[in-house]
Structure 1
Amino acid sequence: ATRFEPQQQIPETIPENLSEMTKDLLHILDNINQKNLQECFHDAIYYRDELRILFKNGRISLRERGLAENAFWRIMVMVNKLVQKLKYVPDEFEGLDSALADIYYANISVFQSLPDAWAIKQLFPIMPIHRLNERPTRNAIISDITCDCDGKIEQFVDLHDERKTLPLHELLANEEYYLAALLVGAYQETLGDLHNLLGDTNVVSISISQESGRFEIVKELEGDSVADVLSYVEYNPQALRDSFKRKAERAVREHLITPAERKEIMTAFEDGIRGYTYFER
């Protein structure tokens, strides 16, 4: 996950050679409250935009630009916290929560497993399937592991309408976090393609007893391996193995690697080509 939190601390001693706009931005940070919330919000956006222009024109340094951006986003975080306490939220604050959202990276390809979420903005109920006795403390959007900027989910089912973020739990070290996308029907996997060469996922068919409520795993199907996907796009996995093996043996003859290193490299190559196209521990 990528958490949205300004990392750099505001220095206790402010340099005297700062521009007046940066000083004004820092003044807002120190004086924002419930009563001047809207005024501070609009002023901060104005000063941020003006400082970016000054930076482009070479009139402020990169260090000052970084200080100003950090102060601006700290103000936005404070504004967002104060907005949560308002009985009526003015329109100008709409979208602020999503702008400050964390990014949770899911081990999926949206284009393979939920193509309608990308293509027609279909809303699927998405929720954690464990830690249900804990209240979620983070608001996030979901990004897949493709390199495509459209590989994300940023519209979610809400009680009456839709929302731009999904309440999720804080991730725990060395513990998997599982989400379920529900009501996807029978067509998402069949519509999916090999975008970024991420293949079919593992599939488990489950039967649930209506009497006892117990479930039984009926069938398990392994997803595509790297070798499978390479063959779909007209590569010969065995030819790739043979070519890589010849290069490794030539490297041994030329004393670039040792025989032990050759064995280790070939083992890693074989594990990779036989492995799953998604992230594996």
Structure 2
Amino acid sequence: LDSSGKLEAWHDAKEIKEAAQSMFNIGILELEDKAKVESLYWEISQAVVRDFGDRTMVPEEIRQLDENLSDQYLCNFSVFQSLIDHWALKQLFPIVPLQGLERPPERDARLVDITCDSDGQVDHFIDPEAQRDTLPLHLPTSVGGGPYHLGFFLMGAYQDIMGDMHNLFGRVNEVHVFLDPDEENGYYIEEVIEGTSIASVLDMVQYDEKALVRSVKKQIDSAIQDDRLKPSEGMRLLAEYSNGLRDQTYLSF
């Protein structure tokens, strides 16, 4: 099919997908068949987007389709805490990968945070010509397979102050780095300030760390007395709970 034929096929597939959804809603289409229809729809969508990929004039519906096909990268942070102006004002911040810089990225993605809010995402990015809705990124498996690190720049103290305790995530770790030509690497780290602990955040909403530990210990003691839990296992659980309260609010790797 040429471009017009592919676009027409996509329109047909879109109508079939919507019809399949309606049929599924009233119970005359099985889930397995609905999944097959949607799989074919997305395959056709990918083919159409690829066909328009190298063109300067792209229909708006294809631009939107390209955005819908983009990946979502789950990032270990909170937009509301660390990037509040992006959510509130759609402020653009420079965001770049810190790994795999020797090779071009393979994917286009939006960034989503670990909060429970659908608004907790970054979907506007700086582009040399104009802003874009996705960010070119590497597949994490192609750059070592471990955590894939991104750099968020020009945030500064203002974002830090404006950020609230939304979802009780608290502040992230802070590192004070100074440039110094006399140092071997050209810089040195003056200070590392740890982020907010779980216990500190809970204390802000009137949950006392010691009271929480006592409550859990009481439940563990009761389980041990009723032979529902071995003493060694109970002490291990209590230690894990206590250590967890002193851990930071963000994910640990």
Q: Deviation of residue 239 (structure 1)?
A: 0.9
Give the corresponding residue for 2:230: 258
Unaligned runs of 5+ in 1: 1-31
TM-score by length of structure 2 reads 0.93
Stretch deviating more after TM superposition (59-68 or 107-116): 59-68
Q: Give the aligned length.
A: 250
Runs of 4+ that moved beyond 6 A: none
1:73 aligns with one of 42, 57, 63: 42
Query: Which residue number corresponds to residue 211 of structure 2?
Result: 239
After TM superposition, give the deviation of residue 174 of structure 1 in Å: 4.4
Residue correspondence of structure 1 range 1-281 to structure 2 within 5 A: 32-172=1-141, 174-209=145-180, 214-281=186-253
1:47 deviation in Å?
2.0
Deviates more, 1:166-175 or 1:113-122: 166-175
CA distance in 2: counterparts of 1:214 and 1:253, whole angstroms: 61
Residue pair 2:179, 2:187 contacting (<8 A) in 1 also: yes
Contact 2:72 2:109 in 1 (8 A): yes
Deviations, residues 144-189 of structure 1 (Å, cap 9, x unaligned): 0111111111111111211111000011264121101111132111
Distance of aligned partners of 1:272 and 1:33 in 2 relative to their CA distance in 1, 3 Å threshold: farther
Select the structure that is richer in helix: 2
- Mind listing any 5+ residue stretches in structure 2 that lack a counterpart? none
Structure 2 CA distance for aligned equivalents of residues 264 and 117 of structure 1: 42
Is the contact between residue 181 and residue 187 of structure 2 (CA under 8 Å) also seen in structure 1?
Answer: no
Aligned-partner residue type, residue 95 of structure 1: Q
1:90 Cα deviation (Å)? 2.6
SS at 2:178's partner residue? strand
Q: Alignment partner of 1:127: what SS?
A: strand
TM value normalised by structure 1:
0.84
Partner Cα distance (2:99, 2:32) in 1: 44
Equivalent in the alignment of 1:18: none
**One-letter amino acid matched to 2:196:** D
Whole-Å separation in 2 of the counterparts to 1:250 and 1:121: 52
Secondary structure at the residue paired with 1:132? coil
Q: Deviations over 1:247-272 (max 9, x none)?
A: 11111111110011111101210121
**Percent identity of the aligned residues?**
36
